[in-house]
Amino acid sequence: MLRFIAFADTLSSLVGRTFGWLIMLMTLGMSYEVLVRYAFNRPTPWALDISFIMYGTLFMMGGAYTLARGGHVRGDFLYRLWRPRTQATVDLILYILFFYPGVLALVFAGWRYAARSWGYGEVSVNSPAGVPIYQFKTVIAVAGALLAIQGAAEICRCILCIRTGVWPPRGEDVQETETVLRNERIQGGA
């Protein structure tokens, strides 16, 4: 189980970090659009569509990464007061009852949606540029598949925690601002 968890976490981290670079591309694209629109009065017909596509792709492909890091929203005001075994039991039930049905629906519906879009070479109707969007619709199914893999790793984490009473460690490459500030206060007071 630990090997599968490590595999899923590594895959999610690699995909999340790779697609995180879309922020730079979005920034460059929007900066270019602002420059040509206001300095040269020559707006581009593709800028809005491309920004939507990049942001949507970043959002979708970052889901598994966020799950791997334990970053999705939950009712922490209760959850953090529970023992790890209770947390894991509740998480396991919720993954089975809600997470997997939703993610599997995302994968299968996304696959059909993307296949139909590829079939007729769908382009955006929101701009005169006719930006192709069928490849973007494929991201829905791919993101769902990545969430399914990471969700299986989370179920493994729950099972291990129920057995041992301790959560298996997660990868950490970012810290919450609250944690950073608390650590600075502790170090400053020492």
Q: Which of 47-51, 81-85, 91-95, 112-116 has the lowest mean pLDDT?
A: 47-51
Whether residue 182 is contained in a domain is answered as no
Bigger pLDDT: 174 vs 167: 167
What is residue 175's predicted lDDT score, i.e. its pLDDT?
A: 63
Bigger pLDDT: 180 vs 149: 149
Residue with structure tokens 């460690």?
169
What is residue 189's predicted lDDT score, i.e. its pLDDT?
A: 61
Task: Say whether 132 sits in a helix, a strand or coil.
Answer: strand
What is residue 174's predicted lDDT score, i.e. its pLDDT?
A: 63
Instruction: Give the model confidence (pLDDT) of 109-156 as tens digits.
Output: 999 999 999 999 888 887 777 888 888 899 999 999 999 999 999 999
Instruction: Give the model confidence (pLDDT) of 5-61 as tens digits.
Output: 999 998 999 999 898 888 898 899 889 989 999 999 998 888 888 888 888 899 999
Q: Write down the pTM of the prediction.
A: 0.82
Q: Where are the alpha helices (DSSP H) in the chain?
A: 2-20, 22-34, 47-61, 63-68, 76-79, 84-94, 100-119, 134-164, 177-189
What is residue 93's predicted lDDT score, i.e. its pLDDT?
A: 95
State the residue range of the domain holding 17: 2-168
Q: With CA atoms as reference, report the closest residue to 142 among 124, 115, 119, 173.
A: 115
What is residue 21's predicted lDDT score, i.e. its pLDDT?
A: 86
Look at the chain and report how many structural domains it folds into. Answer: 1
Whether residue 43 is contained in a domain is answered as yes
Whether residue 181 is contained in a domain is answered as no
Indicate the residue type of 148.
Answer: A
Whether residue 144 is contained in a domain is answered as yes
The pair of structure tokens assigned to 7 is 């595999």
Q: Is the pLDDT of residue 68 over 60?
A: yes
The pair of structure tokens assigned to 151 is 């969700």
